[in-house]
Amino acid sequence: MSRRPAWVFAFTGFVFGLVVVLFSGDREVVAQPKAPVIVAAPQAPTLSTPASLGAGPGTEVEIVLTGTNLAEPTGVVLGCPATVTIPTDNKNGTEPGKLRAKVAVDAKCPAGLYTVRVATKHGVSNARPFVVDSLPLVASAAANRTKDTAQELKVPCVASGSVAAEASEFFKVKVGTNQKLTFEVLARRIGSPLDPIVVLHDAKTKRELIDLYADDTPGLQGDCRLTHTFKDAGEILVEVRDTTHRGGGDFTYRLRVGEFPGAATAFPLAAQRGTSVSVGFAGPETIPPVKVAAPKDPALAAIYVAPGAGWPVPVRLSDHPEAAEQEPNDEPAKANKLPVPGGVSGKFDKAKDVDHFAIVGKKGQKLVIATQTFEVNSPTEVLVRVLDSKGAQVAASNPTAPVNRFEFTPPVDGEYVIACEHQNFLSGPNEVYHLSVIPAGPDFSVALAFDRGEAPAGSGSGVFATVTRLNGYGGPVELSIDGPPALGGKFTLPAGQTQAFVPVLVKDGTKPGGYEFHVKATATTDGVTVTRYGTLVDVVKAGFGGMANPPPELLNRCAFAVTDPPFTLKFTADPTAIEKGKGGKILVEATRGKSVDGDIVLAPVLIPPTAPATVKPIAKGQTKGEIGVTVQPAAPLGPTPFVFKATTKVGGKDYAVTPPPVVIDVIEAKKVDPKKEEPKKKDEPKKDKK
C-alpha cells in the first residue's frame, strides 16, 4: 500500500486552532482538542486575486488586486523585498472590490513564490500568491485559443494566462537546429487549481508531436515540465490546458520557456542552520551545484536554490548535522556513519539499490527514525530496517503508515545499521529521500488555525494557539509575539493546559498598516531551552488552491492590521483573583464613535468550562456593562483567560472587534480559622420561680 503525504489536517475557522508539520520527522503529531470557532471580522478585507500575479527582479509593475472590503487601504504587504505605493488617481482606494498598487521589486530579490496582503483601516486580508520570476513576462493574448491564432513567444520568457473550461491556450515558438528547450508550467506550485498538461504540435501540419507532452512531472506537485532537443530548425506550437478540461478565471498558469535546466528537488534535501553547504539538484539532467549559506534564523523553515534560470527548489533547514549519502554503501560493512542526532539525504539511483547508514545506539535511549519523501516533493517510498551487529533485523518502518516514522530503543550499547530501500523497487535521478535519527526527548508543538487579526494602536487582540506536549513533557510553555517593535504580547500556558489566546498588543502611536509576525513558543526541558513556532496548514492550503505541500516558510506567518475602529472595548476583572467556589465580575467599558449608538453584542470566544460566564449586551447608548463569572470548585488554579468578541452595526453593516484576553487568577478557597469563629451565644439564665 502506498504511503500518503503527512500533510493532512482539519480547518477549524477564524482564530487560530490546529496542527503542526515538523520537518525533522522526529516528533509525533497527535490529535488535538477542538479549538473555538471564530469567524473573520466582517469588516476585514479579503483577496481573490488570481495566483499568477507577479513581477520580475528589478522591475516596476502596476498590479490590480481584487476582493472585498478593499476601500480605505493603509498599505500592501509583500513577502518579498519590494517598494509598494498606492496611487490616488482615478479614485483608487475607494472601491471595495478593486485596488491598484505599484510594486518595485528589489533587483536582488530571488525568484520564487511569495505572498501579498492588503491592509485597510479596518483589518488585513488573507494572503494570496505573488510570483517573482527572472524570465521576461509576457501576458497571454485573449485570442490564442486555437492553433491558427497561436500567440508568438520570444524565447526565453514566461507567459502568464488563464485557461477557460473546455479550452486550451496555444503559443508559437521558433526553435533552432539541435536547440534544447524546456517548457515548464507553474500552476499547482503557485496556488492555482489548474492541473496542467503541456503538449507540443508541429506548426505547419498542426499535428501533435508524438511523445512530446508532459503531465504530472515527478516532484512538481501536479505541474509539468518537458525538456527536448530539436533536431531541425522550425516552428512548434505549445498547448496548455487542464488535464480534465476544467477552467475559469482563477485557473491561471505561468508557462516558462527557455534554455534552462529543470530540477525536481535539491540534493541534499536539508542543511544545518548556520552552515555553508554545496547544494546540487536531483532531476533528469546533470546540473552544477550551488554554494549557499544556511541562515541561523529559527523561524525560517527552508531556503530556495535555483538551478540557473530554472525554477527554485527548497532546501529544508534543521538544527542538527546534515549530510549527503556517499556511495558505495550497498552493504552493512560499507555503511555511512550517521551522527545522532543527524540527518542524511539519500538517492536510489540504480536498480536494487540499498543504502546503509551506521549509528551508535545507547541502551534504553529511545530514538525516532523518520524519512521524508512526499513532504519534500519526491515520489519515493522508502522501507527502513534497523539491523544489529549480527545483521538481524530488530526494527522496521510500517509501509502502510501515513507518516514514515517509527521509534527504536537499543537493547544494548553498540553500533546499529539502518538499511533503506525503495518500497516499489524503483530507481532513477528523482528517487531521493531524507532520513533522520533523533533522540526522543521532551518536546512540544504549537498550532494555529488562522493567520490574521486587527486592533487599534494602544490596544490589541489575540491569537488562538493549541500546544501539544510530546515525549513526556508536561511543563509550562511561554507563548509570545515575535515580530516588529510595534507588536508585542506574551502568555505562559501553565502545565496541564493546552489552549491559549495569546495577546497581540499594539504599541501606542503605531501607524495604521499591516505587520507580519510569528507566534514563538519556548520551554525548558532537561535544562535545555526548546523553541518552536506556531504553524498553520489548512489556512495556507485554502489560500493556495489546495496545494498538497505548502511552502514550509509560509506555514508560520501571521499578519496584523493596526486599524482605526469606530468603537473599542476595555475589559477589567473585578476582583483580579477569585477563590474557587466563588463569583466575580468582568467590567466592560465601551468607547463609541459618533456612528455607533446601537446595542453592542458580546459573544464568548474562549471561556473555561469550569468558570462559566453570564454575558449580556451593552444596551443602546450605554458605555458600560458587566459579565458575571462563577469559578467552580473544580477549576484549575492559576491565570485563567476569558476572551469575548463584540459586534455592533456601523453604517448598517456588522462591525466586530476581539480585544485581548482578560485574565482572572483562580486561587484556593480560604479556610476559616475555627479560633476566629464568632462565639456561640450562652443560654440565658433561668428565671427564679416566684
Degrees, nearest 5: CA angle 322-326-327: 160
Displacement of CA 168 from its chain's centroid (Å): 33
The pLDDT, as a whole number, for residue 388 is 96
Q: Are 408 and 386 in contact (CB under 8 A)?
A: yes
Go through 263-274 and write b for each residue having 16 or more CB atoms within 10 A of its CB, e for each that does not. Answer: bbbbbbbbbbee
- Boundary of a domain, candidates 258, 291, 318: 258
DSSP 326: -
SS3 130: strand
In a domain, 85, yes or no: yes
Give the domain range for residue 81: 46-132
- Residue 254, H or E segment: strand 252-258
Q: Are 84 and 163 in contact (CB under 8 A)?
A: no
**Whether 200 and 123 share a structural domain:** no
The pLDDT, as a whole number, for residue 21 is 32
The pLDDT, as a whole number, for residue 32 is 41
The pLDDT, as a whole number, for residue 687 is 52
Output the DSSP codes for 149-211.
Answer: GPEEEPSSEEEEEEPPTT--EEEEEEE-TTEEEEEEEESGGGT----EEEEEEETTT--EEEE
Residue type, 35: A
Which regions in the chain score pLDDT beneath 70? 1-38, 672-690
Q: Where are the alpha helices (DSSP H) in 498-576?
A: 538-543
| Closest of 173, 197, 199 to residue 251, by C-alpha | 197
The domain that contains 99 carries what CATH number? 2.60.40.10
**Burial grade of 298 (CB within 10 A; 0-12, 13-18, 19 or more):** middle
CA distances from 385 to 165, 237, 326, 445 (A): 48, 49, 19, 28
Q: Is the pTM of this model over 0.85?
A: yes
**Whether 211 and 160 share a structural domain:** yes
- Boundary of a domain, candidates 132, 157, 177: 132
Mention every residue, 6+ apart, whose C-beta is less than 8 A from residue 585.
573, 574, 626, 627, 628, 629
**Whether 68 and 172 share a structural domain:** no
Edge to edge, the sheet with strand 179-186 lists 137-139, 157-162, 252-258, 179-186, 224-230
Q: Are 503 and 491 in contact (CB under 8 A)?
A: yes
CB half-sphere exposure, 79, CA atoms < 13 A: 24
| Closest of 322, 376, 331 to residue 358, by C-alpha | 331
Q: How long is the chain?
A: 690
**Dihedral pair phi/psi, residue 189, rounded to 5°:** -75, -15
CA distances from 451 to 13, 150, 251, 349, 405 (A): 10, 42, 25, 41, 29
**Whether 120 and 142 share a structural domain:** no
CB-CB neighbours of 136 under 10 Å: 15
Edge to edge, the sheet with strand 342-347 lists 322-324, 342-347, 432-439, 367-372, 405-408
**Dihedral pair phi/psi, residue 29, rounded to 5°:** -100, 120
The domain that contains 148 carries what CATH number? 2.60.120.380
**Three cell numbers at 55?**
513581477
In a domain, 241, yes or no: yes
| Closest of 455, 430, 426 to residue 376, by C-alpha | 430
- The Cα–Cα gap between 137 and 135 comes to 6
In a domain, 389, yes or no: no
- The Cα–Cα gap between 612 and 626 comes to 14
**Whether 594 and 627 share a structural domain:** yes
Q: Where are the alpha helices (DSSP H) in 397-528?
A: none
User: Scanning the structure block, which residue is given the C-alpha cell 472585498?
Assistant: 68
CA distances from 580 to 49, 95, 585, 638 (A): 52, 53, 14, 11
User: Scanning the structure block, which residue is given the C-alpha cell 517510498?
Assistant: 381
- Residue 502, H or E segment: strand 499-506
CB-CB neighbours of 471 under 10 Å: 17
In a domain, 377, yes or no: no
Total number of domains constituting the chain: 3
Mention every residue, 6+ apart, whose C-beta is less than 8 A from residue 294.
271, 272, 273, 274, 275, 276, 277, 303, 315, 317
DSSP 535: B
The pLDDT, as a whole number, for residue 373 is 93
In a domain, 643, yes or no: yes
Please report the sign of the dihedral spanned by the C-alpha atoms of residue 187, residue 190, residue 193, residue 195.
positive
**Whether 110 and 141 share a structural domain:** no
- Boundary of a domain, candidates 258, 279, 303: 258
In a domain, 536, yes or no: no
- The Cα–Cα gap between 395 and 409 comes to 9
**Whether 198 and 182 share a structural domain:** yes
**Whether 209 and 111 share a structural domain:** no
In a domain, 659, yes or no: yes
**Whether 120 and 205 share a structural domain:** no
**Whether 126 and 221 share a structural domain:** no
**Burial grade of 686 (CB within 10 A; 0-12, 13-18, 19 or more):** exposed
Q: Are strands 342-347 and 322-324 parallel, antiparallel or unpaired?
A: parallel
- The Cα–Cα gap between 118 and 45 comes to 7
- The Cα–Cα gap between 39 and 14 comes to 5
- The Cα–Cα gap between 621 and 447 comes to 40
Q: Are 640 and 664 in contact (CB under 8 A)?
A: yes
In a domain, 225, yes or no: yes
DSSP 541: H
The pLDDT, as a whole number, for residue 37 is 64
**Whether 117 and 145 share a structural domain:** no
**Whether 109 and 162 share a structural domain:** no
Beta strands in 631-689, from DSSP E residues, in sequence order: 638-650, 653-657, 662-667
